[in-house]
Every structure is written in structure tokens, then in C-alpha cells.
Amino acid sequence: MPGFELFGDAERKEVNDVLDNGVLMRYGFDGMRKGHWKAKELESQLQNTFKSKHVQLVSSGTAAVSVALAAAGVGAGDEVIMPTFTFVASFEAIMMLGVIPVLVDIDDTLAVCPKAVEAAITQKTKAVMVVQMCGSMGNMDALQTICNKHDLLLVEDACQAIGGSYKGKPLGSIGDLGCFSFDFVKTITCGEGGAVITNNKDYYLNADHYSDHGHDHVGNDRGAETHPFLGYNFRISELHAAVGLAQIKRLPEFLEIQKKNFTVLREVLSEIPEVTFRRVPEGGEESYAFLNFFLPDLEIARKVSQAFKENGVDACFHYYDNNWHYIRKWDHLKNLKSLFPISIEVKKGLEYLKTKEFKQSDNYIARNISCLIKLSWTEEELKQRANTMLNCIKSAL
């Protein structure tokens, strides 16, 4: 991760197909295409990869979350439970629909804690969104049981977890709807792009129409298509899909490299008794996109994070002091700094953030360091990195 590290002839070939026929839009212009339908081809490849009946490509992972929720009828005044540890896009995508994000604690999987989820359910709750952060998963069986018990949607934000699996099922394919991102720093990239996956035909058709201004995509004349309901523009372009089409075919190659590099680093850090690792639920296999480990306390984690920076160990993140991925510094959310008026329902629904404490989440995120696993490291670079990390941690303890 990320796939752009290994761009090559395969990506150039797919992009050149699009430039050759000149059709950059995924819909229409049938006569000009010379048989090239990159978005359709990528959706077919993703169906096989995710073992899912339906895939709808969209413009981003953020769009995927909004489209997925809208496709299932989640909207104004409803509540969606989500974790305190994620990317800001998670609550942005929820709030764009007028939905109230209800943040709850994580556990040692770094995903939503099932007990915290159950305690947060109200009459307004419509969905639980588990975010498969940093390539691994939450307690999927427990979360599915809770959703079944309360008749709630289980939505998987698997934007960072392509290639991970749980009990033989690809992450993203376990819940009612799965969401993926193919932005520039994901394991496979389109530059910008995302996907909604589901086995529910109604949700798929809704996503297909909603993401293209409500077009029903019936027939071969785009101008004659009807609009069963309102929609918006979350389309992916053929150029972006072309890059993704080359990359998805290389996913096994990328995952093999990630696992090899991950394993080298983990084995070295395992020599330190004070280092522990995030819990992967039994039956799960992470994508190996990130190595996540815990240190004894916040002070040591900060020392290690600083030592990594000073010694050239890049792409390692201490999220406790990061304003992209953890609730602690999301002041723009807590203070509702918006360019347009926020609805009264959402304002009232988010008042809890002014006083709410997330001590359980703090306990994990304060001690966690997350290291991106690159695809382009040479064996010598990987060995040197492992030794530097080892020495930095030992010096901080």
C-alpha cells in the first residue's frame, strides 16, 4: 500500500485505451468506444474479488458511504452509529444526508466496541457502521448479532481494508452494504474512486440510479432514460476506472508484498516484551496494509513517534495527536463549523459531543502507533527500517 508505488505498463495500457477512443464518461457514447467500457469491466472484476452479486462504482470512498446509506433509505433525522477512530470522511458522508453520526468507543481491534454500540442504540438508530481501519476488522459476529436483534443495517466502511477477510468472506461483503475507496493512497488506486457492494438487488439499483442523477439506465439512449427518484452526481470517470482495472488485476501481487513486509517488521518488534499488537478476531486475516502496535503509555508512544520522525522512519502515525483520524481533535465537528446552516435535528443530535468522553478509545489510541506498509521497499530498506524502529522503541522504554 499504496498501489501507485508500482504503476507500470498495465496501467498505461488501460488508460491509453480510453484516450484512444476519447470517451472519458462511463455512460453513453456507445458508437465511439471501440468496445471499451472500463467502469463496467472494473465492476465485474470487483464482483469476483468481493464475492458479491452487485458493485456500483462511484467517485470516492466518501461518496460510497453516502450512496450506500441513501440506497438503503437512511436519511434526515436518522442516526448511524460509528467509531471514534476513523477518517473524517465517515462523519462527513453521514452528515451530508442530514443523518446524525453517533460516535462510540473502539476496542482493541481498533474498530467499534460491540458493547458501546448496543448501549448507543435509540429509536432513531438505522445503521451501525463498522470502519475496518488500517486493514483489519471489528468483532463482526457480535456486531451482526446486535444488528439482527435490533433490525439495523450493518454497513462496512472497508475503505482501508481491501484484501482482508473474515471467516473466508472478503471484508466489505459481510454486512448489508460495503464501501471501498480507491483514492491515491489505497492498496489499489484509481487516483480517485470508490465502490458500493451488496447482495441486495434493491440497494444496488438504488445506488446505481442515485449516483447518476436518478437515471434508470434502461435502454441505449441516455436522453430517453427516466428518473424514478432524485439523484446526484457521484460518477466515476472512465480514466479513473481504467487505472483501477489494471490495479485490481494486480491485487494478489500487492497483498503478497504487503504480507511479506508486514511480517518482517512484526517479527522484529515482537522481540520487545512491552510491544503488543492490535487484536485480529479469530477467523480474520488482515490485509497487512498497516502494522498497528501498542506501547505501555502515552508518554512512551509520543517519544517513539518523535524518534521515528527524527530517524527517517516515515509513514508511521500516532493518531492521538492527529486531527484527521481521531475524535480528540475534531473541533470542526464538535463546534459545527459549517459553510451552510446545519439542520436543527443534527445540531441537537450532536450536542453530546460537547461533554462526551471516550476514555476507552483514548486508552487504545494514546498507546497505538500505526505504520503504513509500503510495496516499494527493497530488502535492504526493510531490514534497515526494522532495526531503526527496534532501536527507537528500546531507547524510549
d(CA 278, CA 283): 15
Which residue in the list 51, 53, 124, 186 is annotated as catalytic? Answer: 186
d(CA 233, CA 27): 12
pLDDT tier for residue 371 given thresholds of 50, 70 and 90: very high
pLDDT at 27: 97
pLDDT tier for residue 213 given thresholds of 50, 70 and 90: very high
C-alpha cell at 238: 472512465
Question: Do residues 63 and 179 lie in contact, with contact meaning Cβ atoms separated by under 8 Å?
Answer: no
d(CA 75, CA 279): 34
pLDDT tier for residue 143 given thresholds of 50, 70 and 90: very high
How large is the average pLDDT for residues 228-239?
Answer: 98
Break the chain into its structural domains and give their ranges: 3-250, 252-396
Question: Do residues 42 and 244 lie in contact, with contact meaning Cβ atoms separated by under 8 Å?
Answer: yes
pLDDT at 161: 98
Long-range own/partner contacts, residues 144-147 (CB < 8 A, 24 or more apart): 144/174, 144/175, 146/114, 146/117, 146/118, 146/121, 147/175
Question: Do residues 150 and 123 lie in contact, with contact meaning Cβ atoms separated by under 8 Å?
Answer: no
pLDDT tier for residue 340 given thresholds of 50, 70 and 90: very high
Give 3-250's CATH code, choosing from 3.40.640.10, 3.90.226.30, 1.10.10.10, 3.40.50.1370: 3.40.640.10
pLDDT at 356: 97
How many other C-beta atoms can be found within 10 angstroms of the C-beta atom of residue 297?
A: 12
Which candidate, 203, 190, 341, places its Cα nearest to that of 251?
Answer: 190
pLDDT tier for residue 289 given thresholds of 50, 70 and 90: very high
Is residue 3 packed enough to be buried (19+ CB in 10 Å), middle (13-18) or exposed (0-12)?
buried
pLDDT at 136: 98
Q: How far apart are the first and last CA of the chain?
A: 29
Question: Do residues 164 and 117 lie in contact, with contact meaning Cβ atoms separated by under 8 Å?
Answer: no
pLDDT at 387: 98
* Architecture of the structural domain at 252-396: Alpha-Beta Complex (3.90)
Looking only at the bridges linking them, the beta strands covering 125-131 and 79-83 are parallel
Write out pLDDT tens, residues 374-385.
Answer: 999 999 999 999
- Reply yes or no on whether 186 is catalytic: yes
pLDDT at 380: 98
How many CA atoms are closer than 13 Å to the CA of 239, on its beta-carbon side? 7
pLDDT at 30: 95
C-alpha cell at 266: 512484526
Is residue 55 packed enough to be buried (19+ CB in 10 Å), middle (13-18) or exposed (0-12)?
buried
pLDDT at 277: 98
C-alpha cell at 261: 513486509
Question: Do residues 32 and 118 lie in contact, with contact meaning Cβ atoms separated by under 8 Å?
Answer: no
pLDDT tier for residue 148 given thresholds of 50, 70 and 90: very high
How large is the average pLDDT for residues 128-148?
Answer: 98
pLDDT tier for residue 345 given thresholds of 50, 70 and 90: very high
pLDDT at 358: 98
Write out pLDDT tens, residues 71-111.
Answer: 999 999 999 999 999 999 999 999 999 999 999 999 999 99
Write out pLDDT tens, residues 258-277.
Answer: 999 999 999 999 999 999 99
How large is the average pLDDT for residues 360-367?
Answer: 98
Question: Do residues 42 and 248 lie in contact, with contact meaning Cβ atoms separated by under 8 Å?
Answer: yes
The 3-class secondary structure across the chain, one letter per residue, is: CCHHHHCCHHHHHHHHHHHHHCCCECCCCHHHCCCCCHHHHHHHHHHHHHCCCEEEEECCHHHHHHHHHHHCCCCCCCEEEEECECCCHHHHHHHCCCCEEEEECECCCCCECHHHHHHHCCCCEEEEEEECHHHCCCCHHHHHHHHHHHCCEEEEECCCCCCCEECCEECCCCCCEEEEECECCCCCCCECCEEEEECCHHHHHHHHHHCECCCCCCCCCHHHCCCCCCCCECCCEHHHHHHHHHHHHCHHHHHHHHHHHHHHHHHHHCCCCCCEECCCCCCEECCCCEEEEECCCHHHHHHHHHHHHHCCCCCEECHHHCCCCEHHHCHHHHCCCCCCCCCHHHHHHCHHHHCCCCHHHHHHHHHEEEEECCCCCCHHHHHHHHHHHHHHHHHHC
pLDDT at 278: 98
How large is the average pLDDT for residues 25-39?
Answer: 96
Q: What is the dihedral of CA 89, 27, 246, 59, to 10 degrees?
A: -10
* pLDDT, averaged across the chain: 98
pLDDT at 288: 98
- pTM confidence score: 0.98
**% of the chain residues with pLDDT over 70:** 100
